[in-house]
Structure 1
Amino acid sequence: MRISELAERVGVATSTVRYYERIGLLSGPSRTSSGYRDYDEEDAARLLFVTRARRMGLSCDQVGTLLGIWAGTHCASAAERVGQLIDEKQAEIAERIDELHRFSAQLTTVQDALRAEPPDACRTDLTCCVPESPGVVVLDLVPRPRQ
């Protein structure tokens, strides 16, 4: 099958298939005499595995490790490792939720300070519009890159 058929079948963009090939999660397919990529059922199964693992939030490195375990035949070993990775992901999520709760409390403190002393004029230390919130680490809200 062609790349567009493979991508549609699994529900990803053709650029995703090419990317996974480039980083080694998919092996390069055979080529037709006219140079088109030619995928088979094994390629489709591997792409489906990769896609599902990525949708669970696993990094490309983690998926690569799983592929080495799974290899299309070792489901029990792969399932065990997926379970471990899910536990790790759940811990990361819990930590992130705690960070967000702390950040929410920080924002409430700042908002309360602004409401308690509405600015009548700008101040050189900018506490008129951005009050200080000592002792609280500002949370980085920039999304963390997926690996």
Structure 2
Amino acid sequence: MNILKDFRFWLCTIGVTLLGMLSGLSAGNAQSYYQQLELPSFAPPGWLFGPVWTILYILMGITFYLIWTHPVREERRTMIPLFVVQFILNFIWSPLFFGLQSNLLSVIDITALWILLVIQQLYYLRHKPVAMWLMGPYFLWVTFAMALNYGIIILN
């Protein structure tokens, strides 16, 4: 079956992307807070985050579709909760960092997210390698964002 004709593909891709964007919107005036911070030298400009996250959420949505439609039920039972928990940790980071302006809570959250992503990527490698590759850019971005978050907590 052509996945582009599968309603679930569009539900996952658009749904995850919209939920991800909702996290950003719930963060309040993120740009203002980001500009007030003492940033590490490797910090990207604030405008870059929106386009990067849009692409990452699309890739995450495609991944969710692939694990939701995975033919082995027992593996789906592990992959779906891993995905949901990492998505929740991802979702709450923006409100913690920008909304509450809590560098400490956000660094705890992103560290837990990164650890879970390592576990998730290893599981995907064994059971759904295409999901691992689709989540690879997200894993790399979270790794970078974690370093940025630690840099911010040190400088501020």
- The alignment's TM-score, normalised by the length of structure 2, stands at 0.29
Q: TM-score, normalised by structure 1?
A: 0.30
Q: Larger helix proportion, structure 1 or 2?
A: 2
Bigger Rg, which one? 1
